Structure formats: structure tokens, C-alpha cells
A and B are shown apart, each in its own frame.
Chain A
Amino acid sequence: MRTPEADVPYGTLDLIVLKTLDAMGPLHGYGIARRIEQLAQGMLALNQGTIYPALLRLQQKGWIRSRWGTSENNRRARFYEITRAGKNQLAVETEIWERAVSIMSRMLEAKS
């Protein structure tokens, strides 16, 4: 049976993007979107465009920075890169997320 595509849970796209940049180093928007799709293996319904508001949001918070570079297509593209503050934030949020997940799974697994 095919797993139904889930929407990206609200607020998690930022964390996913941050994690991707942390793992992969500088990437342009298309690269980030591809990478997320690869990892999700078709389980996430993601309009690739939705990463752009997220990227701006992260930049405004100072967790990533961007500069113009050249794409594999040999054209101008904006490359994004995680900052030190972003790395710290990623660590914090990963921990929060893991704790939430472990609590949730305990709740859901608990036999009544």
C-alpha cells in the first residue's frame, strides 16, 4: 500500500531547510528542494516554491545567509549557507523536536 503524501507539518519546513543546509553546505533553492524531495522519498507533498518564503524568513532571523553564485546551468543563482547562529538554533530545535516526538510516540504507543 502506498503511503499517502503528508503536508509538511506547520513550522517544520524551516527546520528541514536548516538541517539540509547544515548537512549539504551551500545550496541554491532548487538544490534544497531536490534534496528535501530525495530524503522524503515521495512521502511529502511539497510545492518547491514554498521554500522561498522559508528561506527569506531564516535569513531575516540571521540563521542562514546568501550570496550570488553560478548554477550548474551556468547562470546566476542565489546560494544559501547556514550561519553559526543557525547551527546553534538547529541543535536547539532538533532537541526540542526529538523530545516532542518521543513524548508523542510514548503517548500513542501507551496501551489504555
Chain B
Amino acid sequence: MTGLRTLIARACALFSRRRDEEGLAEEIAEHLELLAIEYRRLGLPAADARAAARREFGGVDQIKERVRDQRGFLWFDMLRRDIRYAVRSLSRAPVFTLAAVSTLALGMGATTAIFSVVNAALLRPLPYPRSQDLWSVRTQFTDGRVTTGLVSPVELRRLKDAASPNVTVALSTRQDLTLLPPDGEPRAVAASGVDEGFFPLFGLAPVLGTGFPPEYFHRNGPTGAVISTRLWHSAFAGDPNIVGKTLSLTTGDMPILGVAAPEMDVPRGTDVWINLQLNPQDTGHALDGYLRMLPGTPPEMLRSRLGGVAMSLGRDYPGPERNRAFVIEPFVNAMVGDLRPVLIIVFSATALLFILACVNVANLLLARASRRSREVAIRAAIGASRMRIATQLLTESAVLATIGTVAGLAVSYAAVRALLRYGASQLPRLQAVPFDTPVLLFAIAMLVVCALGVGLVPVLQLAGRGIEQRLRERARTSGGTRATHRALRMMIAAEVAVAVTIVAGTGLLVRSFLNLQRNDPGFVSRGRLTFDVLLPFQKYRGPGVQSAWEQTLFTRLRHIHGVTAVAGSSDFPLLPGESGSTSLFRLDGWPEGHEHVVAFMHVVSPAFFETMGIRTLRGRAFADYDRPSTAPVAVVNESFVRTYLEGRDPLTAQISLGLGRVDPTTSRAIVGVVDDVKYGSLWSSADPAFYFVDNQSGNTFRLHVVVATNLPDPRMAIPEVRAQVQMMDPQLAFTVEPVSGVVAATLTRQKLGTTLMLLFGMVALMLAAIGIYGIIAYSSADRYSEIATRMALGATRANIFSLLVRQGLAVAAAGAAIGMGMALGAGRLASSWLYEVRPSDPWILGSALAVVVGVAVTATLIPVGRAARIDPAPLLRLE
């Protein structure tokens, strides 16, 4: 209790310093006066009485000092004095201060910027209640067969039966719709069909309305829509009476049942949620699955239970469900996807960069400390304790680090804005990168680490040594101690090691990125445009209506100046969510009861392969004479041949859809083999796929159109393409973009990561060069007298030069060796993210080594050359 009172009293005293001080002075003066009166009464003359009073009282100033110590916080006072002193001494060395602050600002800024991105994407909790209990669920074949990884209604039903009470399950499926707003242009909206459990699972209450009533999920129940807050504002101006109004779509109208919470964003970008009426016997895999566990359910328990469900499904539905397993993943990971490794790699690189910046500042401080050796010695001689000197030096580092951090925060703020503008804002969870508490805490943690780590260097060097020893040293000729030189050598080694790691890492990522970019996707993107439209089926229903419409559209587009070919397809390579679906198929000659096999199925117009620049390897591509009336045909890709037609002439094979025996009435002859096209991503290999021609297949409502041109820039044709499509149907919403843009968009995150690494690599190299230069310059200047002595004893300039270079290079070599080890380790950790580059690639490691060592040698040679040119005579005379 009294401890607390004392604390409060002391804290209050911090604010009443002047009044307290005056009071004390007055009080003591009165005390002395009364004492003096006493002595005068004993007969002493006035002057002697005053002197006697002072003697009896004791040292007035010492007493005042002791009262002051008692009054406030001693350390606070000292801190205040130390800070003032530090600011003064830093402002006396502006070049040093500027160098140190800007180095720190760069290191801190980069690290904080990347941390705030990591925080936004990976660390920040999702906006759903108890989001750590949310998981995504997918399926996978354990025998290597291909699948989209989606979930079927049968699986949902079994999961719901088996999983309760620990788990709730929900599903969604992406659909796309064209909205006809009350006024304005038709617009494409991302829509998702959702089951009964979906909204309760995510747990966000709607802004308006109550969501879907239960009967909406019964078979043949009504259909309605919940719209996103985003759409509510952009298309309906935030109409407060929106619930019950009609949502007009090209496919028909439906009532709006509610407005979802603004944070609700599953599946990402969804603007309209529509109730799904699932058939519980349906084994089609077309749904995204979500799980919510009760708090505290161990994931292993969930996994084993899911394993059990998969087993029983396999028994009951041997076709589609055999050897199928559930794969669960925390929902946040599923959302962020492959952004995660990119961020982790880049973040590790910035951490190394931060270390480099700290080493450089430590080295600047060290050089400065050796110049201040005498100042410290004098302070020690007039009574400062080691502790006081150490505190003072640490304060100076802390002031430096604080200024660096503030500047670093500004740098990171600017860097994050630049990153977002550069395209990072299109990545999941990065629409906004908040500058929140975790980011601030991180910056403060870095500040502390930096101030302590960097600040301790001069402290160890200066405060550790005895006073006499230091006073004996002559400022000019002082050779740093053995410990100082060891510290300097370690710093050079650290600089080289870190630089090698970052440069090698940059090399690996750049190489990997170039490999990806040069990667042949199986089609030609140059000179081509693409767009897709959603054809409302009511309007295009009826035999041949849609085909006729497409024919007319293609003909009109072909007449545009510069257009050489036009084709359509049910899906499009590398377009997220549009890269095709799988279908069950059978080949002739397969035994009865052969296992359930799926491959990707694409429906294309006859000119598709030619228009996309996809090579036909064997047989023929589709042609205009493949009509509904002629024999049905199919084309397969090379990977399909490799997987299913090994040892057979593919052009003699028959393919049909579905299970069971090949039905001669629906089977198709394989007439050609085309090159593999990478539909999923540039870095995964193509899956087995077969193509049907649209004339001989049911129409798909989504139509992807590709337009090949011979224009230098295909974008020149965009206005005319738009105009033609709008003339055909003014209610269609679509965006025309170059195919090369579609390909580039799949590499956004890789490009971001690579660009950042390139930037960091260059900054790291620069910092290392400056750092090594500074250390060598300082340590060779420190050895001038030694050099002079050696010269006096007969060493030539060449001897001196080679001595210093050898010593410098030995250290750099040690650092380089450590750096190689670190680079290899880092490369191995990141190897899953590298594309066709081995982490031990000798060319990359070798060139990283060469670049860094080259920079280190250059940074060594300049100051060493200067040292070898010194004139020994004046130096020796000074000794």
C-alpha cells in the first residue's frame, strides 16, 4: 500500500518540479537562518555564525540532490538528461546520424511493410465469429485419379449424419448471373448456390431480412436471393426497403430475401447467394465444402471421423466414391492459397535485410565509438559509473533507433500503398492492409531488438574497459582492441553471409519466375483477345437457337479488321473458376465394372484449336463438317493418351460418357490428339482431357470466345468486338481482355514476390557494400600506425596491400561459406514454390557468390588501397 502511495507521490512530483524546488530552497534557507541565529546568540559574529550553521547543516547541494532523488524517479530524470545529451551529440554528427537513420528506416520500413501484408493476409483473423474453427473440405482420390476436388451432396449428407455434434457442414457452388439493374447496363454478378447450413455456419447475421426460410431448401421449394452489402449499395443505392423487392436477372426474377453482413465474402467475390435444392442422392462433385468444429475439437479426431465417412461412402457408392478421401485445411489457408509461401519467403528476406541494416548501423556506431574513446574515458575519470556510461550509450542508440523507426513507419506506409497500387490489392485478403495494433507492436519489438542489439556494440567496446587504460591511449594512434577487431571481422562475415543468402534467394526466385513465364501453356496468347458471356437459357432455348446465334456472332467478329479467326469454348485455360470440369468416361475395350474414371471435358467450337494456336499432334482437329448429323467425334490431349491409351493407336479408340459398357449409339471415335494445354495453372502439369465439338454436344450457357488477330496490339480490336456483341444482345455483360492478360494474371503473386525479392536483393547488395566498405575503411585507418611501423621495418606497399586484402578476403570467404549454407537451406525450405529450379542450382549459387564477393572485394580494395598509400614518416613522428 505505502509502496503504491510512494509511487503515486513520486509520479505527481514529476509535474511539480519547479514549485517543489523553490519550496525546498526556501525551507533550507530558513533552516540555515534559524541555525545562524542560534550561533549568534552564543556570541559568534554574523559571518562565523553563518559558516557554523552551514557546517552543522551539511552540504546544502548534496542534501538538495538527495531530496531530488527521493522526490521523482531518479531514472526518469537521468533518462531525460541522457536523451537530451544524445540528441545534442547526434545533431553534432549529422552525416553519421543521417546514414544510420536512413539505413534503419530502410530496413525497418521494408520489414514492417511486409509484416503488415503478412498480418493482413495470414495473421489477421477472418471476420467470422470463432473463425479459427472454420475449415474447408475437399476430396481427393487416393489412387491418383484426377478430380476437381469438390464435394457431392451424398457426401454432405453423410458428413452431416456422422459429424454431429462436433461439426457442422455447409456447401456452396459458384454460378454466374447477369443482373439487369432497374436502370443502367446489365452487369455480370458472381453468384453462389448455398445449402441450408451455409449462413448459420459462418455465423454473421444479415444486415436486413432474415435469410432463407427452411422451406426454400425443400425440393421444389421457392427460390430467392440474399445479396451482398456491396451489391446493395452499388446496384440498389442502399435501399432500406430492399427486402421483398425483385432481383431481375437475364435468367428470370427472384425475390430478395435479405442483405448479408458486409464482411460476408464466401466464396470470395460473391454478390448474390441463392438457395440450393440438393438431391441427397446426387453423387456429382460440384460443391465447395465448409466445416465448423465445436471449439476444442482436435483436428485429428475430425480427420479420423472423416476417414470413416469416406470408407463407408466408398462401400455404398463404389463408382464415384471409391478411394475418395476428405482433405481438410484451415479456412484461412484455403482462402489465401499459394500466397502463403510467397509471403513467408519475402518476409524471411526482409528479416535478413533488417539484420543487414542493423549490422551496418552497429558498425557505424562502432566506428563512432572508437572516436569517442577519450570522451568516455574523461566521463569515467570524473566519476561516472560504468552503468551510467552504458546507459548513456544505450540511450543514444535508442534515440537513433526511435528516429529510424518513425522514419521506417513512414517508409512502410508508403511501401504498402505502392504495393497495393502495383496490383497486390487483387490478391485474397489484401483489399485493405490495415496499419493496426499488431503492426505497431511489431515495429516496437523491432525497435527494441535493434536498440539493444545495435546499442550493445559500442557499450561492450567502451564501457567495458578500464579508465586508466583508455586515458593512456592516444586518440590518434589507438589501435582498437583485439575484441573490437574480432567484432568487426564477425560483422563483415555476417554482411557477406546475409548478402549471399538474399542474392542467391533472389536468383532462385527470378529463375523460377522466368521459367514460369517462358513455360509453354500449350496455346499462343499473343495477338488474341478473349471474353465470356452468360447466355440466359430462357432466351436461347430451343433446338439450334444458341448454335445459330453463335454462328452469327462468330461471322460478324471475323469480319472485323485484323481478326483472323474466332472460336468458342465452354471454358478457358488459366481462368480461375473457368478452367473446366471433369466428366466420367469409358473407353472401348475396358472390362465391365472397370473403375470409375474421370477426365477433364471441354466443349469447343470447330475452329478452337486453330484459333488458340494449339498444335494437333496426330489425326485431325475438329472441322465444320463435324455436324450433329455426322458421326460423333472426340479429340484427346497427349496426357490422356499417355494415361489411358498407352500402347494403343489412339485414333482407333472409342470414348463414351458415363459408367457401364460403351454404348455404340453414344460412343465417339477419337479422331485427333492435340498438345497438352495447361488449364489449371502454369506450374502444374496438364491433366488428361478430352474435347467434344459444340455441334455434337449440349450447349453450355457460358460461352468463352477467343478472337485471334494479326494486329500488333490485339487491344486495338476491343471497341469493335464490344460493339458487335452488344448489337447481338444488349443484355449481355462482358469484358474483353487480351489472352496474355489472362496468363499474366495467374502469375500476379509470383510477379509480386519476384519483384520484391529483386528489390530486396539490390538493397541488400548495396547495404552490404556500404557496410563492408565502412568496416574495412575504419579498421584499416585504425591500423595506420601499425602499417607505418611495418613500412619502417621494410615492408613494401605491395606487402601491405596484399596483407590487408588477404585478411579482408579470408573473412569474406568465411562469410560466403556460411551464406552458401544459409542459401541452400532457405532454398530447400522454399523449394515447393520454385518452378523447375533446384535450390542447389550451381549457376545461381555461383553467380550469387561471384556478385557478392565481387562487391566485397571492391568495397575492400578502395580503403585498403588508401591505407597502403600512406606516408609512414609523419605518422611515426606522431607516435
List residues of A whose CB falls within 8 A of some B CB. Answer: 28-30, 33, 47-50, 52-53, 56-57, 59-63, 71-73, 75-78
Contact B33 A52 (CB under 8 A): no
The answer to whether B26 and A76 touch across the interface, beta carbons within 8 angstroms, is: yes
Q: Produce 1/0 per residue, B126-170, CB < 8 A to A.
A: 000000000000000000000000000000000000000000000
Within B43-62, which residues are at the interface with A (CB < 8 Å)? Answer: 56-60, 62
Chain B 420-439: CB-based contact to A (< 8 A → 1; otherwise 0): 00000000000000000000
Smallest CB gap from B38: residue in A: A34
B67 is an interface residue with CB less than 8 A from chain A: yes
- For B8, the closest partner residue in chain A by CB is A60
A56/B70 contact (C-beta < 8 A), A61-B5, A71-B30, A73-B34 known: yes
Q: How far is the CA of A46 from the CA of B65 in the complex (A)?
A: 18
In the complex formed, the residue of A with least CB distance to B13 is: A60
The residue that A48 contacts in the complex, of B5, B6, B35, B66, with Cβ under 8 A, is: B35
For chain A, what secondary structure do more than half of its interface residues adopt (helix, strand, loop), or is it mixed?
helix
Knowing A56-B70, A60-B5, A73-B37, the reply to whether A48 touches B26 (Cβ < 8 A) is no
Given contact pairs A47-B57, A48-B57, A49-B58, A56 touches B31 in the complex (Cβ within 8 A): no
Please state if A53 and B30 are interface contacts (CB–CB under 8 Å).
no
Q: A29: nearest residue on chain B (CB-CB)?
A: B31
The minimal Cβ–Cβ distance linking B228 to chain A, given in whole angstroms, is 62
Judging by beta carbons under 8 Å apart, are B71 and A71 in contact? no
Partner of B34, one of A30, A62, A78: A30
Question: Taking A60-B5, A60-B9, A61-B6 as contacts, is the C-beta distance between A52 and B30 under 8 angstroms?
Answer: no
List of A residues within 8 angstroms of B10 by Cβ: 60
Residues of chain B lying within 8 A (CB to CB) of residue A53: 63, 66-67, 69-70
Residues in chain A near residue B70, CB distance under 8 A:
53, 56-57, 60
* CB closest chain-A residue, reference B6: A60
Q: Which residues of A contact B24 (CB under 8 A)?
A: 52
Query: Which residue of A is nearest B56, CB measured?
Result: A48
A50-B63, A52-B63 known, 10 other contacts, Cβ within 8 Å? A29-B28, A49-B57, A49-B62, A50-B58, A53-B70, A57-B70, A71-B34, A72-B34, A73-B34, A73-B37
Distance, CA A28 to CA B23, complexed state (A): 13
Chain B hits for A28, CB < 8 A: 27, 30-31
Cα–Cα distance between A39 and B2 once the two chains are bound (Å): 29
Q: Which of B1-25 contact A (CB under 8 A)?
A: 2, 5-6, 9-10, 23-24
Q: How far in angstroms is the closest Cβ of chain B from A79? A: 10
Chain A residue with the shortest CB-CB distance to B60: A49
Which residues of the partner chain A approach B67 to less than 8 Å between Cβ atoms? 52-53, 56
Q: Which of B26, B30, B59, B62 contacts A30 (CB 8 A)?
A: B30
Nearest-Cβ distance from residue B440 to partner chain A, whole angstroms: 35
CB neighbours of A33 from chain B (8 A): 31
The contact of B2 among A52, A61, A75, A77, by CB within 8 Å, is A61
What are 18 residue pairs bridging A and B, where the CB atoms are less than 8 Å apart in the complex? A28-B30, A28-B31, A29-B27, A29-B28, A33-B31, A48-B56, A49-B63, A50-B63, A50-B66, A52-B63, A56-B67, A57-B6, A60-B10, A61-B5, A62-B5, A73-B37, A75-B30, A76-B26
- Chain A minimum-CB-distance residue to B61: A49
B12, closest chain A residue (CB):
A60
- Residues in A whose Cβ lies below 8 Å from that of B62: 49
In the complex the two chains form, what is the Cα distance from A63 to B1 in whole Å?
12
Select from chain A the residue with minimum beta-carbon distance to B53: A48
Within the assembled complex, what's the spacing in Å between the Cα atoms of A82 and B34? 23
Closest residue to B63 on the A side, CB-wise?
A49
Query: With A and B bound together, what is the CA distance between A81 and B674 in angstroms?
Result: 104
- Check if B37 sits within 8 Å of A62, measured CB to CB: no
List 9 tightest A-B contacts by C-beta distance, closest first. A47-B58, A49-B63, A60-B9, A49-B58, A30-B34, A53-B66, A61-B2, A60-B6, A30-B31
Cα(A77)–Cα(B2), bound, Å: 27
Q: How far is the CA of A47 from the CA of B66 in the complex (A)?
A: 13
Residues of B within 8 A of A56 (CB): 67, 70-71
| Contact across chains for A77 and B30 when beta carbons are under 8 A apart | yes
Given the complex, which residues of B lie within 8 Å of A50, measured CB to CB?
A: 58, 63, 66
A77 and B66 contacting across the interface, CB-CB below 8 Å = no
Partner of B59, one of A29, A49, A59, A73: A49
Q: When chains A and B are docked, how far (Å) is the Cα of A52 from the Cα of B58?
A: 11
Tell me the minimal C-beta distance from B77 to chain A in angstroms.
15
Contact across chains for B27 and A52 when beta carbons are under 8 A apart: yes
CB distance from A74 to the nearest CB of B (A): 11
**Chain A positions within 8 Å of B26 at CB level:** 76
